Structure 1
């Protein structure tokens, strides 16, 4: 059973985390008021609508926050943690009261990784194909703008070289290491 536990844990964690990332992306794109008709927005909306539409009927937005998306992300990650604990025969280690805390930590981790990944995509595309009018890239630029813009304002003019993505990625990795340090002290550190 141990030979099956690791690949099964990987599969469960990956699939649930990918869907959680889709919900997270929907939440962030809504918050940023990204173009609804952008192909990336449409992909995310179509992937998450089967679950989000019924949730929106029960739990409407509050002050611009999509509470249904937040609840869905927490529930998905709680299910993820429970399934991983079950697969790895560690269900006894799990404290049900701390489950929402673990789920929130995983969502923060996924958020950090989402921004690292999208900033890397933005940087690579800007090197390989500067000025590319691809609408998906427009959504990625819009997604990363709140993180990159404040750093760009603080950076001195370096003759057309933008180091803000590198600085933001360094900061995101720093945050991720802090988060891993917190998670390492928890009994379910393996789920980070």
Structure 2
């Protein structure tokens, strides 16, 4: 049963990550002709196209992708208890806010890894790789405001490190919010 649990949850997490990456690509207006962007669109389009007829976009945000990612995270929370036979071990009043917090956490994890990969590629790549330009487009909206406040010093750009520290701080805040949510709901 652990194997099945692992496989199902991994598929849900990966597809959720691709959906949220698609939303972020649309928000920052990334180049959709990039080969990696085309991969993201081709993987998500069969599911998103019918949903868009029911759930329209709001501004630059692809609402259908966000709603589907939210539903997948709800499944990710509920499925393990049903697969283990506990069935509904988590109170449903906790599932929806917990899923929302986990959705925001998933966005933070994606941004974290995009920044890490961009930093690593900046050391080894010559900038001619299509993924380099896409990573620049995806991470620059976060790093540029910090770079305006704290410019590069001695050729070192600290903006990536500062964004990562902010993401870590938000992750700690997430834990505090979840503990508060549990205390309010259970007592």
Global fold match (TM > 0.5): yes
Classify the secondary structure of the residue corresponding to 1:105. Answer: helix
When residues 107 and 87 of structure 1 are mapped into structure 2, their CA distance, relative to the original with a 3 A threshold, is same
Taking structure 2 as the reference length, the TM-score comes to 0.88
The answer for unaligned runs of 5 or more in structure 1 is 188-192
Instruction: Give the drift of 1:164.
Output: 1.0
Instruction: Give the drift of 1:33.
Output: 1.1
Q: Is the 8 A contact 2:82 2:88 kept in 1?
A: no
- Residue-by-residue CA offset, 1:26-45 (whole Å, 9 max, x unaligned): 11101111111111211110
- In the other structure, the counterpart of 2:110 is 114
Q: Distance in 2 between matches of 1:86 and 1:184?
A: 23
Q: How large is the RMSD of aligned CA atoms in angstroms?
A: 1.8
Q: Is 1:142 equivalent to 2:141 in the alignment?
A: no
- In the other structure, the counterpart of 1:19 is 15
Taking structure 1 as the reference length, the TM-score comes to 0.86
- In the other structure, the counterpart of 1:190 is none
Instruction: Give the drift of 1:90.
Output: 4.1
- In the other structure, the counterpart of 1:38 is 34
The answer for unaligned runs of 5 or more in structure 2 is 183-187
Instruction: Give the drift of 1:153.
Output: 0.7
List 4+ stretches of structure 1 deviating above 4 A. Answer: 184-187
